[in-house]
Each structure stands twice: as structure tokens, then as C-alpha cells.
Amino acid sequence: MQITKPNMVQLNNFFDNSTKNNHKKMLSFSTDHKHKLDEGKHDPAIAELVDLIKQPYDDFQQTYASVVSNYGYYQGKTQQTETLFNDLGRKVKQWDIAVQNVYMDDTPEYTMIFPNKRGAFQKGTYETRLEAVRALEMSLDRFPDLATVLSDVQAFRQKIEISRAEQQAVEKRDQDLRIALEEKRTALAKVMHRIFGKLLFIYGDQYTRIEAYYELQYFQRSTNTTASDFKLIPANSRVKAIDGIFKEVDQFVLSNKGNVPLGFFVTDDELSPTPADMTILQANESQVYSLEELTDGKAARLLLVVNLSGEQTRFSVNRATNDSIN
């Protein structure tokens, strides 16, 4: 549930504003804040705040870990499915040759079996290619002399259907977990905002004492973005968005202008494995991220975009300069 925007700008929840769609930032922000509160819990007033943040923080942290774990599993299932669809090109070649051993490619029987030759199996979405396999299976069923080919097509179709179904189930689990994580982030932001109010009550105008409970860098936002056109990213692919020498202070405005989630991470090589905790941006969302939040821990030279869905989509990446949140 989103936080209701107040009529008074002074009531804006800046913890929510600065971490919206940025779960990695919220994890770092809240963890640092909680540790600082823990250090002061010898004071009964601060101990009360420690108790206040504990449950929403634990809920967010545990859900975050579940997202990372499930996403790694999702990546593995996606790789399994991709391997099978990549193998489909080799399999259809074998089936085509086996059919031509009985019916040459200029016969009516061959046309009944392969009306579009191999093209439908090698291009298109997962679903259209899988439908081509199903159609081939139905066509082969009309030819008893191709029973061996039919048996192989059936076995492969069942294998790829199972893999695809498992992948989609884990994908749905990923989507559900991310919805839950955003709800936990919002709940935690509300509590952090309440704690800020309580710290104001406890310390009054002793602002340095209040600031001591926060890492001020997390209150930063970015503006003045450089223009960038939206780029296309094909289904089930990774593309390079930016390369060069990145600085620690660099921030990036990421925009997902499609209907499927996209992943973003900074690394040193285009062949680097996709990290399980890479930043995920949901459909039609934009958000600012720091270099620290995007990096996979290696030298920062490339910003890569990952599309694990079966749908082509659009994105943009802009560099930005810092401006503090008021």
C-alpha cells in the first residue's frame, strides 16, 4: 500500500521518497539506522525506538533475502528453458531430415508436416515456437510411418513444456515476492518516519544528536538528468547501456518503459554472470540509483540491462547530479 501524500509538504515521508522502488537502498539505509539506534539503547527513550523498528525491519530484511534467493532460482530455471529452446533448432533439423528420408521436401506430405519449413521453430516468442512443436506433433500423428519421429517430438515437447511451466511458476513467485517486499519497505518507511518525529521530541533543537542516528548520504536524490532516448532490449537478453569510467559519486536514473520487469547492474565485463541481487525495476517505473547500489562488487566499467522475459521491451539510462532532499 502506497503512503498517502499529505497536503502539507512538511509531512512528506522522506524515508519513503528516497527509497521508493529502491529496495537495496532501503536495506542499507534501515540497517545503518537500526545499528545506530542499537548503540543508544542504554537510554530508555531510544530503547523504545529500537523495539519500534525491530519487527518491520526484520520483516523487510527477511523478505529481501527471499527475493534474492528466489531470483537466483528463477535465473537457473530461465537458463534451463533457454537451453531447451536453443536446442530446438538442432532438434527440428533432425526431425526435418528424418521426415525427408521418407518424404522429400517437394512432396505434398512434406508440406503437410512442415508447411513453413523450420522457420517457425527458430524465430518468435517461446509460446509461438512451442505451438509450432505442438502443431508438428499433431501433423506427424497422421503418418504412421513417422512414428519414431513423432515419439521424439512428443518427448521433447513434454520436456520443454515442463521446463517452461516451472520457469513461469518461479517467475510468478518472484513477482509476488517483490510486491510483498515493496509493502514491507513502505511499512518500514512509515516506522522510520515516526522514529524521526520521536527523535525530534526527545532532542528538540539538538540537531547534531538527531543526525547522529542517520547516514546523511541516504537522503540524497538526483536531478538534472542528461537526455537519453529509449532503447529496445530483445526478449531473453542482456544489453550494454553505458560503458566508461564510473565514479563513486555517480548516480543513474533508470527507466523501464515496457510491460515486464528489467534488471540492472554495473560490472567490469559483458560476460559477467548476472547477480542474484541485481536491481529490478518493475514495468513503467523510473528510479534513481547510486553506483554502490548497482555494482556487483567488481570494477565499475559497464552498466548492463537484463530482460529475462519472453517479450521485447524499452528502457533508458541517464546519468544525474546530486541534489539534497528537502
Closest of 67, 22, 247 to residue 171, by C-alpha: 67
The confidence score (pLDDT) of residue 6 equals 67
What are the beta bridge partners of residue 324? 220
- Of 318 and 198, the structure prediction assigns the larger pLDDT to 198
Answer yes or no: is pLDDT of 248 > 50. Answer: yes
Cα gap 182→3, rounded to integer Å: 11
142 Cβ contact list (under 8 Å, min separation 6) = 112
The confidence score (pLDDT) of residue 134 equals 96
**Distance from chain centroid for Cα 19:** 16
Answer yes or no: is pLDDT of 229 > 80. Answer: no
Residues 221-324, CATH architecture: Sandwich (2.60)
Closest of 228, 231, 211 to residue 219, by C-alpha: 211
Q: How confident is the model at residue 211 (pLDDT cuts 50, 70, 90)?
A: very high
Neighbour-count burial of 262, counting CB atoms closer than 10 A to its CB (0-12 exposed, 13-18 middle, 19+ buried): buried
The confidence score (pLDDT) of residue 226 equals 44
Task: List, for residues 142-179, the tens digit of each pLDDT value.
Answer: 999 999 999 999 999 999 999 999 999 998 998 899 88
Closest of 56, 45, 31, 316 to residue 202, by C-alpha: 45
What are the Cα distances from residue 208, in Å, to 12, 34, 148, 205, 212?
21, 17, 79, 9, 6
Q: H or E element: which one contains 129? A: helix 126-140
Mean pLDDT of 120-142: 91
Mean pLDDT of 205-233: 75
Q: Are strands 251-256 and 302-307 parallel, antiparallel or unpaired?
A: unpaired
Mean of the per-residue pLDDT values of the chain: 87
Answer yes or no: is pLDDT of 11 > 80. Answer: no
- Exposure letters 15-43 (e unless 16+ CB within 10 A, then b): bbebbbbbbbbbbbbbeebbeebeeeeee
Q: How confident is the model at residue 223 (pLDDT cuts 50, 70, 90)?
A: very low
The length of the chain, given as a count of residues: 326
Task: List, for residues 12-60, the tens digit of each pLDDT value.
Answer: 888 998 888 788 889 999 999 999 999 999 999 999 999 999 999 999 9
Mean pLDDT of 255-259: 89
- Contact 114/102 with Cβ under 8 angstroms? no
Cα gap 252→221, rounded to integer Å: 10
Q: Residue 128: phi, psi to the nearest 5?
A: -70, -35
Hey, is 272 helix, strand or coil?
coil
Cα gap 247→311, rounded to integer Å: 33
Each as own residue / partner, the long-range contacts of residues 128-136 (CB below 8 Å, 24 or more positions apart, any chain) are 129/85, 129/88, 130/157, 130/160, 130/161, 130/164, 133/88, 133/157, 133/160, 136/92, 136/95
Cα gap 314→308, rounded to integer Å: 13
* pTM attached to this predicted model: 0.72
What are the Cα distances from residue 252, in Å, to 1, 20, 209, 227, 281?
26, 15, 32, 12, 13
